[in-house]
Amino acid sequence: MAIELRSNDTPAIITGYNLEKHFQLGDQWVTALAGLQFSIPRGQFVAIMGPSGSGKSTLLYILGGLDRPSAGDVVVAGRPLTRLTGEELAEFRRLTIGFVFQAFHLVPTLSALENVALPGVFAAIPRELREQRAFRLLKALGMADRLEHRPAQLSGGQQQRVAIARALFNDPPIIMADEPTGALDSKTGQTVMRMLRYLCSRQNKTVLVVTHDPVVASYADRIIHLRDGQIIRDEWRRLAGSRRARQTEPQEVNRDVS
C-alpha cells in the first residue's frame, strides 16, 4: 500500500519500498509484511499499531536493520539496508539507531552506569570518556542517585530509564522502541512516554514505537495501523516539527540530554 508523504517539507529519514517478509511455519508459508510502501520524515514520532501477528514488530526490526525483508528495499538515513553486509549493518545500527525493548535487556552484573556506557566499549571509547557520557545521560534522566545500582536493585521504570540512556549513548538520530511500556505500570509508562516525546520534540529525534496501547499511541505525531501485514490506515495527528508536537514535555527530563 503506497502512503503519501505529508510533511512540512521535512526530508524523509526512513523510506520503505514494497517491503515484504515471508517465513515458513511448519509446512506453511506465512506473510508477515505484504508490500508496504511509506516514508517517515526526520523528527517525527510514529506509533505502529495492530493486533498480534499484524507485522508491527517485524516491520520495526527490518527498519532497524535487525532483520532483512524477503523483497523490497528500505533506506534509512541515506543507507540502503538491503545492500549492506552484516558488518556494515552492525556499524549502521551502532551509529544510527537507539533500541529500547520491553524486557530492558540490561546486563544483570553491570551497574546502571556500566550498562549505559556499554556501547562505548564496542566503539573503543576510553573508559573515562564513556563513563562521563553515561553519567550525563543518567543525570539528565533523573538517575544520578542510582549510578552504582544493578538492574535487580532498580524498579521497572528505573530500568527502562537506564535502557533509554543506553539507547542515547551514541546520539543516534533514530530511536526505535518495541512495546517500551509493556512491563510497566500505567504511571511509570506515562513517564517513559513523556521522555520519548521530549526526545522527539526537543532533540529532533525520529521516534518509532510499536504498541497495542492507544494511550501510548496518543503521544505520537502519526499512527500507522497494520493488519495482516498491510497498512490499513495512516493517521497523521500533526506534522513533524510542528508547534503542537512540542507541547508535551516531561518535567523529569533535564534539558542537558545530548
Amino acid at 69: P
Cα separation, 113 vs 148, whole angstroms: 6
Cell, residue 54: 499484524
Instruction: Output the CATH code of domain 42-65+84-223+235-246.
Output: 3.40.50.300
Q: pLDDT (tens digit, 0 to 9) for every residue of the chain, 258 residues total?
A: 444 445 456 889 999 999 999 988 888 899 999 999 999 999 999 999 999 889 999 999 999 999 999 999 999 999 999 999 999 999 999 999 999 988 889 999 999 999 999 999 888 899 999 999 999 999 988 899 999 999 999 998 899 899 999 999 999 999 999 998 888 888 888 888 998 999 999 999 999 999 999 999 999 999 999 999 999 999 998 765 554 444 444 445 554 554
Cα separation, 58 vs 204, whole angstroms: 25
The answer, as to whether pTM is greater than 0.75, is yes
| 33 Rama class: left (phi>0) / alpha (psi -120 to 50) / beta | beta
3-state SS record for 67-100: CCCCEEEEEECCEEHHHCCHHHHHHHHHHHEEEE
| 225 Rama class: left (phi>0) / alpha (psi -120 to 50) / beta | beta
Cell, residue 238: 500533526
Could you tell me where the DSSP H helices lie in 97-224? 112-122, 127-140, 156-167, 186-203, 214-217
